[in-house]
């Protein structure tokens, strides 16, 4: 993956995606499995929902019978997108915030994709599982610990899989690093650093004209790691979290909130309402997790100050280290020069994961460098075969729990807080399951 690509270049599906990915249908499973149609309802057809819908329409055997969005214009645009692909125009549900339940009641829906504002993720996912629909829910899957437990308890009661759509778990480089770790190149895992470093003030929390989007309310009302799952995505499998180890305690510290006010004063003047607004959210949140087996993880939230995008992944073991920012590794007994970095590129080629070998370079034409295509392909494979999704509800809850845990620690002056064990002890015997090569 081109390390120089900006986050905004990943967003959406490019015009060349259909050409680049037309031959990649085999990725989702056998020909027999691919021949079975999967009927998907999409709830939320704004920017992210439209991107996911566009990718779904590239996949073989996907039908979109219905979509839902309370914005009639967004729903109409989604209907047109589906019709343009050659499918029958889907029914649109737009009446009010409860109308999604009518979509869930349809008998011609096998799975749902949820791409709504954050506060709707958990209730919609819970209702989807109760309705018997496979759930693919955008990140984070929950905003509170009660919400995380609601997801887990609903899955355990219904046995209907729920997968948080954490696409960075499926990045090509991250999967190659996972292969290296499982082959023992980096030794025993000790420590990870990860981050979501992305200046989102002028396009996510607010629009370019200074008006507030739905995300701005979270900055006003909460002080926490608002968006911790992109950073953690690959880390869970790198460190065997919930499969031999588990989060034990977390501490979080937040800086003062300066960036949002400074942005609005700089661009719109000091008298702009948003320049005077009080924001509870600190600009930088640093969380430190210690696992039951003594591993440590540093997670940074960094979404409000001017900066280029990056994730700053680093994973360190007893035999070496991988550093995503530098695109480098150091492997004891293999790196030519003692205590000097070497390029990760040859390792990417040698340890490319089987999921990516079918896609090759053309996969990167799709949304988020091809990760959305891979992620949705594997999600739909599970739906077709009625098997567990690549990311299960326990990993979804674990990653999402950092939102609430960081808020609790910050409120207690960075005191340690205990991390819930969503697996109820099963992590002690559970074998690694994500992206296990066959």
Domains 7-168 and 169-355+393-428 share a fold: no
Distance separating alpha carbons of residues 260 and 254, to the nearest angstrom? 15
Closest CA to 366 of 139, 56, 77, 84: 56
Which residues sit opposite 245 in a β-bridge? 241
Query: In the numeric block, which tokens belong to residue 397?
Result: 């809850």
Residue 312, pLDDT above cutoff 50: yes
Q: What is the pLDDT of residues 218-249, one digit of tens each?
A: 999 999 999 999 999 999 999 999 999 999 99
| φ, ψ (nearest 5 deg) of residue 138 | -65, 170
* Dist CA 272 CA 22 (whole Å): 49
- Distance, in Å, from the CA atom of 211 to the CA atom of 171, rounded to the nearest integer, reads 33
Q: What is residue 270's three-state secondary structure?
A: coil
In this prediction, residue 365 has a pLDDT band, given cuts at 50, 70 and 90, of low
* Distance spanning both ends of the chain, measured CA to CA: 23
Confidence (pLDDT) at 363: 56
Residue 6 has pLDDT above 50, yes or no: no
CATH superfamily of 169-355+393-428: Dihydrodipicolinate Reductase; domain 2 (3.30.360.10)
Asked if 355 and 12 count as a contact pair (C-beta separation under 8 A), the reply is: no
Domain spanning 7-168, CATH architecture: 3-Layer(aba) Sandwich (3.40)
Across the beta sheet with 91-93, the strand order is 91-93, 62-68, 38-43, 111-114, 134-137, 162-164
Res 157 pLDDT > 80: yes
Give the C-alpha separation, 43 to 126, whole Å: 14
* Chain length of the chain: 438
Q: Residue 246 is encoded by which pair of tokens?
A: 């588990």
Confidence of residue 36 (pLDDT cuts 50, 70, 90): confident
Q: For tokens 């300066």, what's the residue?
A: 258
pLDDT band at 364 (very low <50, low <70, confident <90, very high): low
Rg (CA), the chain: 21
**pLDDT tens for residues 296-306?**
999 999 999 99
Domain ranges of the chain: 7-168, 169-355+393-428
pLDDT tens across 64-121, in order? 999 999 999 999 999 999 999 999 999 999 999 999 999 999 999 999 999 999 999 9
């Amino acid at each position: 993956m081109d390390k120089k690509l900006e986050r905004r270049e990943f967003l959406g599906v490019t015009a060349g995606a259909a050409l680049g990915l037309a031959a990649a249908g085999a990725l989702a499973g056998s020909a027999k499995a691919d021949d079975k149609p999967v009927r998907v309802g999409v709830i939320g057809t704004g920017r992210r929902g439209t991107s996911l819908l566009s990718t779904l329409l590239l996949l073989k055997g996907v039908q979109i019978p219905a979509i839902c969005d309370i914005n009639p214009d967004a729903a109409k645009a989604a209907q047109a997108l589906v019709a343009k692909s050659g499918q029958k125009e889907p029914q649109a549900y737009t009446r009010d915030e409860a109308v999604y339940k009518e979509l869930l009641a349809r008998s011609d829906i096998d799975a749902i994709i949820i791409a709504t504002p954050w506060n709707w993720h958990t209730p919609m996912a819970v209702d989807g599982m109760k309705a018997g629909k496979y759930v693919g829910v955008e990140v984070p899957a929950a905003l509170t610990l009660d919400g995380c437990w609601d997801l887990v308890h609903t899955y355990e009661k219904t046995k209907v899989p729920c997968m948080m759509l954490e696409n960075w778990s499926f990045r090509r480089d991250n999967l190659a690093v996972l292969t290296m770790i499982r082959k023992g190149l980096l030794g025993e895992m000790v420590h990870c650093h990860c981050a979501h470093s992305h200046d989102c003030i002028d396009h996510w929390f607010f629009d370019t004209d200074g008006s507030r989007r739905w995300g701005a309310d979270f900055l006003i009302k909460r002080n926490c790691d608002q968006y911790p799952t992109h950073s953690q995505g690959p880390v869970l499998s790198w460190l065997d979290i919930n499969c031999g180890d588990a989060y034990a305690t977390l501490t979080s510290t937040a800086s003062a909130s300066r960036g949002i006010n400074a942005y609005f004063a700089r661009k719109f003047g000091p008298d702009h309402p948003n320049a005077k607004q009080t924001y509870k959210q600190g600009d930088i949140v640093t969380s430190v997790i210690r696992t039951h087996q003594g591993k440590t993880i540093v997670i940074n939230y960094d979404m409000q100050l001017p900066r280029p995008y990056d994730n700053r992944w680093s994973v360190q073991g007893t035999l070496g280290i991988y550093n995503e920012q530098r695109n480098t590794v150091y492997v004891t007994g293999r790196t030519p020069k003692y205590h000097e970095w070497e390029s990760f590129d040859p390792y990417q080629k040698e340890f490319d994961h089987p999921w990516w070998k079918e896609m090759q370079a053309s996969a990167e034409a799709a949304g988020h460098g091809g990760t959305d295509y891979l992620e949705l392909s594997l999600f739909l494979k599970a739906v077709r075969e009625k098997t567990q999704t690549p990311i299960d509800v326990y990993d979804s809850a674990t990653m999402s729990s950092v939102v609430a845990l960081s808020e609790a620690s910050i409120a207690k002056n960075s005191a340690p807080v205990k991390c819930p064990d969503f697996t109820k002890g099963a992590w002690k015997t559970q074998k690694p399951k994500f992206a296990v090569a066959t």
